Structure 1
Amino acid sequence: MIECPSRMEMQSSLKQVQKLLSDQEAAYLQSLRTLRKKLNVLQSAATKETAKSNDGTCLKLETPANGRKLGKAQTPGHEVHFLCDPGYELVGAESRVCQESLTWSGQQPTCQNIDECASSPCLNGGTCVDEVNQFSCICTKGWAGVTCQSPLPTFFVTMTNTSAATSSAAVSPHTVSLVPAVRPSRCTQVQGTTHCTCAPGYTISGHDTSTCTDIDECELFHMGQAGRLCLHGCVNTPGGYRCSCPAGYNVTPDGRNCKDIDECATRQNNCTRDQLCINTYGGFQCVRVDCPRIRNATYSKTSPLRCERNPCSVDNKLCPQAPNSISHHHLSVVSNLSAPRTMFRVSALRPMGDTLRFSLLGRGLARRHFTVQRSDRQTGELVLVSPVQGPATIEAEVEMTELDKRVQLARYITKVTVFISQYEF
């Protein structure tokens, strides 16, 4: 038989429960006060850090030594790009983005000297000496040339001495007029036999041992086992040859190939202050980037190559349909570049919707030679689908649209201008 507790016992139990709840409430309030103090400390620290970041902007980035920095905007969402001077390669991020936390993405890049000797350009035992934007070779005995690629030949003939008259004639000094393609041989007599030799790059001219004729290396070695002597043009010289390049190019340290002259980096251009100098193969282009003038929207330039739409007014219903930003990029390629080939990538940093759509705008050459395809959910690629014979300039526009439940949230236009050179090297 179960006995019911008396009223006194129930009151005592209720008092104990009430005391327990009071203790729990006090402990909870104390925890809240402690948490509030910690939050205040964190908020104070965040406020100081924001103040250090110059009122809602990221800290200014340093320009790497031997390099350049493109872009001055320091507000969230803006990018800064980095380039290195000729002879240096970029190590680290090519671009950094100012994040919502007012910190920059990626690591600060540096420009390191390119080791031109890394590919072992010196042949036949030659020693490579690395220099800024070039190299030089110290050749072993018997070899010459920029990369020690040419042997030092010795041409000689042997003549039997049949008479004193011919012998004395063979060893007497020769008086041959020095013209570019002809020079006298050097003869010596050893045990009744006359040996005649020529300087490197010359050979005995037929039966006349007193005359050395220049060897036309451009004709003789036009297509050797290693290919042509010169990538572009070959000029025969007395005792040798030299390679030539078209305007806008210099001969590379190996003496055979052609290297584009960067007129923008070396200031060999006539671009004005309000223009950007874009280096191309064999030349340069002066480009002026202006923000578009659209009836229902206005734009401001946030970097030398980027324009962003200003905030739309509440009563302007067409403004949100205009592109949020328009970026300009310039590429320089050689003529007849092999295809298919990815030329440019467009990505979304912080997708807001559930769908990203990439498309190629415009018609003409851009449609004929390019297409846009997706490489992953957030990235679209501009792909060259057929080679282009230069010289030519093609402008392609890549559109990236953000959608949420099929409703447009934002549009971004990337204008890619491709400069195709006249030559294929």
Structure 2
Amino acid sequence: MLSDGHVKQSVLRLALSSRVDLDECARNISKCGSDQTCSNFYGGYSCQCPAGHRLGTDNTCVDIDECAYSNTCSILSTCVNTPGSYHCVCSPGFRNAPSNDKVCVDVDECSEDAACEHGCVNTWGGYRCTCGRGYELGKDNSTCVDIDECALAASSRRGRLCVGTCVNTAGTYRCQCPPGYRESDDGRSCIDIDECESGEATCARPGPGEVCQNTRGSYHCHTIQCPDGYRLDGKHTCKRIAEYCPVRDNSCLRRPSAYSYNFITFVSNIYLPSGSVDLFTVHGPSLAEAQLDFELGLVGVQAAPGVQPARLSCFDMRPTARQCTISLLCSLAGPQVAELELTMSVYQRDQYIGNMVARIIVIVSEYNY
């Protein structure tokens, strides 16, 4: 026989089991919002928010900011929250991996659309353009600009690239020699052409008194005309026909026994290492107790327009007991031709016995090489 307690529990279970659940979702009487999903359960229901949302305190759905709550994107990207979701924006130079849009991979711009004119080097997250030899990157970092090697060398301490003229060309340069020179095998030096030897000189036909003197880059034609009473003896010397003078014929004695013609050439603006350079030395006769007296004069100068002509003060005379040396004191510009006259008077036991004249033709070429 059942007790009263057992009867009551049995009655309660029977009463509960006989109750029918009310499906609020199906009857559309739930309080779920339009953006929520109603889920019925026995004795009630629940409102569920769409993915990427959560239920707020006022039972409305609030977007979940995934970017603020978790490190969902790669360090190479920026997390951008969107309603109900998010996406990862890769940094410049990267893009989303095909298999995982949350991962960023490097973009090889060189194999795609890099706007490099010459060469391209891919780097992590970018690229850089390179230029061929003789070019440098322009301001846009993509096009290549020719380097003017000639101007660059002239403005630096390296000095000139060419002995002659430096001509800039696309990507490189070339050396050009002026007329009168030919290019050397090294491509930068200039070698003088001996026009007198090659026959290119337009001097008078070779003969007595006709001199073709080669100079750096050119040549000089000179005709030796002996004064009256002299004859050409040898290549560059005029000797007095009357070898001996009558007694007490001072006029004859004062006439030089010989005129010698001497040609000296050097480049424009020649370097004077010690402030001077010796040009010419004349030796006196081998006479016992002979005394020598020297006098230097400037006969004339022919200088190109704009070129400072040589002065007598540019030449120094260093006489000794047996000889005299003429030296250059100024670095002369060319082209120009200066003619000096060195007179050597000879005395023996203080008695005048004659003199000789050396004509020194100094030829300065146009270029400094």
Q: Do they superpose with TM above 0.5? A: yes
Contact conserved, 2:289 with 2:348, CA < 8 A, in 1?
A: yes
**Which residue of the partner structure matches residue 131 of structure 2?**
198
**Residue 241, structure 1, aligned to residue 173, structure 2:** yes
**Which residue of the partner structure matches residue 372 of structure 1?**
317
**Which residue of the partner structure matches residue 335 of structure 2?**
391
**1:360 to partner: Cα distance:** 1.1
**Which residue of the partner structure matches residue 281 of structure 1?**
216
Q: 1:422 to 1:304 in 2, by over 3 A?
A: same
**Which residue of the partner structure matches residue 329 of structure 1?**
262
Q: 1:307 aligns with which of 222, 225, 238?
A: 238
Q: 1:223 to 1:190 in 2, by over 3 A?
A: closer
Q: 1:268 to 1:319 in 2, by over 3 A?
A: same
Contact conserved, 1:309 with 1:324, CA < 8 A, in 2?
A: yes
Give, in whole Å, the separation in 1 of the partners of 2:226 and 2:133: 63
Amino acid at match of 1:281: R
**1:323 to partner: Cα distance:** 1.5
What's the TM-score once normalised by structure 1's chain length?
0.50
**1:313 to partner: Cα distance:** 6.3
C-alpha deviations, 1:174-226, integer Å up to 9, x for none?
A: 9x9xxxxxx941346699976654322123444454x4332222233333333
**Which residue of the partner structure matches residue 160 of structure 2?**
228
What's the TM-score once normalised by structure 2's chain length?
0.57
C-alpha deviations, 1:270-311, integer Å up to 9, x for none?
A: 122232211123311111222221xxxx32322111122234
Q: 1:243 to 1:403 in 2, by over 3 A?
A: same
**1:394 to partner: Cα distance:** 1.0
**1:267 to partner: Cα distance:** 2.6
SS at match of 1:357: strand
Structure with greater proportional strand content: 2
Q: 1:163 to 1:383 in 2, by over 3 A?
A: farther
Q: 1:315 to 1:354 in 2, by over 3 A?
A: closer
Give, in whole Å, the separation in 1 of the partners of 2:122 and 2:281: 73
Q: 1:269 to 1:204 in 2, by over 3 A?
A: same
Contact conserved, 2:268 with 2:368, CA < 8 A, in 1?
A: yes
Larger Rg: 2
Contact conserved, 2:299 with 2:341, CA < 8 A, in 1?
A: no
Amino acid at match of 1:304: K
SS at match of 1:319: helix
**1:414 to partner: Cα distance:** 0.8
Q: How do residues 64-213 of structure 1 correspond to structure 2 at under 5 angstroms?
A: 160=93, 162=95, 170-171=110-111, 184-187=117-120, 196-207=129-140, 209=142, 211-213=143-145
Contact conserved, 1:335 with 1:422, CA < 8 A, in 2?
A: yes
Give, in whole Å, the separation in 1 of the partners of 2:211 and 2:94: 75
**1:416 to partner: Cα distance:** 0.3
Give, in whole Å, the separation in 2 of the partners of 1:366 and 1:162: 80
Unpaired stretches in structure 2, ≥5 consecutive residues: 1-91, 98-105, 301-309
Contact conserved, 1:305 with 1:327, CA < 8 A, in 2?
A: yes
Contact conserved, 2:245 with 2:252, CA < 8 A, in 1?
A: no
SS at match of 1:287: strand
Unpaired stretches in structure 1, ≥5 consecutive residues: 1-158, 177-182
Structure with greater proportional helix content: 1
Give, in whole Å, the separation in 2 of the partners of 1:314 and 1:334: 43
**Residue 350, structure 1, aligned to residue 295, structure 2:** no
RMSD value over aligned CA atoms?
3.6
Contact conserved, 2:298 with 2:339, CA < 8 A, in 1?
A: no
Q: 1:315 to 1:221 in 2, by over 3 A?
A: closer
SS at match of 1:380: strand
**Which residue of the partner structure matches residue 409 of structure 1?**
353
**1:321 to partner: Cα distance:** 3.3
SS at match of 1:265: helix
Q: 1:219 to 1:322 in 2, by over 3 A?
A: closer
Contact conserved, 2:129 with 2:141, CA < 8 A, in 1?
A: no
SS at match of 1:400: strand
SS at match of 1:221: helix
Contact conserved, 1:351 with 1:402, CA < 8 A, in 2?
A: no
Contact conserved, 2:243 with 2:257, CA < 8 A, in 1?
A: no
**Which residue of the partner structure matches residue 267 of structure 1?**
199
